[in-house]
Amino acid sequence: MIRIFEKNIAEFKNDTLISEIRKSVSEKCKNAAKKPFGIYQLSVPTGGGKTLSSLRFALYHAQEHGMKRIIYVIPYLSIIDQTAGNIRDILNLSQENDIVFEHHSNVVEPEDEKSSEIRKLSANRWDSPIIITTMVQFLESVMSSKGGKLRKFAAMADSIIIFDEIQTLPIKALHCFNEAVTFLSKILKSTILLCSATQPTLESTQRKNLLLASPPELIECAKEFSGLKRVMVVPEIDKNHKETADFILCKANENGNCLAIVNTKISAFDIYSALKNDAQGYRVVHLSTSMCPAHRIEVYDEVKKCLKNKEKIICVSTQLIEAGVDISFACVVRAMAGLDSIAQAAGRCNRNGESNEPKMVYTFQIRDENLDKLNDIRTGKETTANIIASNSNNEDLLSELCMNRFYQQYFSNVDGQMDYPIEGNSSIYAMLSENKYGKGNYQNRTGEKFAHYIPTAFYTADQNFSVIANNTRSVVVSFGDAESMIAEYKQQPQGIVTKEKLRIIKKLQKFSVSLYEWQFKVLTEQHALSTLDEETGITILGSNHYSIEIGVTMQSNPELFFIQ
């Protein structure tokens, strides 16, 4: 793999400042591969080539120390395909190969130890040399009490585990994450790489339980980026959805295109709907997790093509586009959120230095959005608003000074949430350590003190742990080749595990969408859901409930959603 990687990377052009910087970062990561096992931070500004640079480090580090595999943990399902594609390309691998395994979603995840053999087999490729998975899968595997998921934990030993965009780590899971990766590093001899353009100070939280290497920085690259000023963040006054749409159109007219990133799917839908009617002459597209991965990739490709051809385009998206997506607009509008999120959104603006002058990234609070169930975003937004209000010296909001100030305030505001608190005045962290609450319950129930050495409540912690607060269920939607693949699956012999069945199930992952329980209930009442078969338990959503513009809809005839 190293031989193929080096041959291909040598063919990259170095004819721009940003490409020269990426080459320097990559060379430094290669040279860092001789470092010992440990937990390292890779802090590289957006567009700095983190994916291939971290892969280069991992390949050489694995060779140096005789390690088993490389695991990429990324924040969102939406960028699995992009990351996997980049890795396959640099290693000359075809779409179907035995080197890179993409673990897309819980469509194929066994529900329990008694799950059907076919579903277990479709998720058992965690012995592959390179695995690409999500933070949700990582956390729910290391915190599980089930053998199937814990086998993935075992596969993480003697590995290089690369966490991309580590700033997206859910606050409630922070202390548990620190314990897990410290265990992986110190006990299971894995190397952990925490990648971010806005490196959060995870080691300085209340418990200080992230045992970083000394020094923690994998490489130093501040000098390379010191003279590169691609964007400027400009705070604006609050706006409602209609005013936001008008503002986006105004900035698109000034720049030729615009990316708007908002905090909720409802905001994205409302603003998109307004722009569909008002933005004459523009191609207006929508992106959210209501759309399956295959659909989103199609939209990404369309957006990239429009930008390359300098066509007039406006993209309205939720935050899924702001981390790891290789795309560059001339202007970005970001609904106010955490300063780390705003910095990530800024990474989609003038990404490759297309303009010698800094381009504008506008941020403001949207009055219509409801963040009651999005505590991390709401707290981040409030912290950013305080930073902006107190920034009397007009310090660059993307500077290291402002970012450190943001994390200091943000973490102090959420100290009590980092142990993953649950009902009953306890927490997941407590259950997996001294478990005083559990021992107290034991004494109340039996009248005797808990006399055993290990009080850890593995099963109860697993039952209470979920990265996504609301329980969701995945459904396969009618998009692209999904219907023909479902028909093909039904032609296979029943009750028998075949390679063809496993191939189809793996492909169906790209046509899945996660629904909240209330959505699942509403669609069930409308007879919109069916089951592929008892063997898999995979749920199929009827074609009348999937729109080519916005994805899953809660009513049929989605073409009636938009009046032209």
Predicted pLDDT of residue 265:
92
H-helix segments, 171-319: 174-186, 222-225, 241-255, 265-278, 293-308
Average confidence (pLDDT) over 483-490: 91
Q: How far apart are CA 180 and CA 256, in angstroms?
A: 46
Predicted pLDDT of residue 302:
94
Q: How far apart are CA 314 and CA 255, in angstroms?
A: 11
Q: How confident is the model at residue 110 (pLDDT cuts 50, 70, 90)?
A: very low
Q: Is the pLDDT of residue 512 over 60?
A: yes
DSSP 493: P
Sheet with 39-43, edge to edge strand ranges: 39-43, 191-196, 159-163, 69-74, 130-134, 100-102
Predicted pLDDT of residue 560:
40
Reported as type and span, the H/E element at residue 366 is: none
Q: Is the pLDDT of residue 481 over 50?
A: yes
Nearest CA among 429, 457, 464, 428 for reference residue 441? 457
Average confidence (pLDDT) over 78-106: 82
pLDDT in tens, 389-407: 998 888 899 988 899 899 9
Q: How confident is the model at residue 68 (pLDDT cuts 50, 70, 90)?
A: very high
Predicted pLDDT of residue 531:
87
Burial 465-474 (b: 16+ CB within 10 A, else e): bbbeeeebeb
Q: How far apart are CA 345 and CA 365, in angstroms?
A: 15
**Residue 424 neighbours by CB under 8 Å, 6+ apart:** 437
Looking at residue 102, its amino acid is E
Q: What is the CA radius of gyration of the chain?
A: 24
Encoded tokens for 478: 């009618």
Encoded tokens for 198: 């806005």
Looking at residue 489, its amino acid is Y
pLDDT in tens, 354-381: 888 999 999 999 998 999 888 889 999 9
Q: Is the pLDDT of residue 178 over 90?
A: yes
Pairing of strands 426-427, 100-102: unpaired
Say which residue, 146 or 110, is predicted with more confidence: 146
Q: How far apart are CA 190 and CA 457, in angstroms?
A: 26
Long-range contacts of 61-67 (CB under 8 A, 24+ apart): 61/33, 61/35, 61/160, 61/191, 62/160, 63/2, 63/33, 64/33, 64/34, 65/37, 65/191, 66/158, 67/158, 67/159, 67/160, 67/190, 67/191
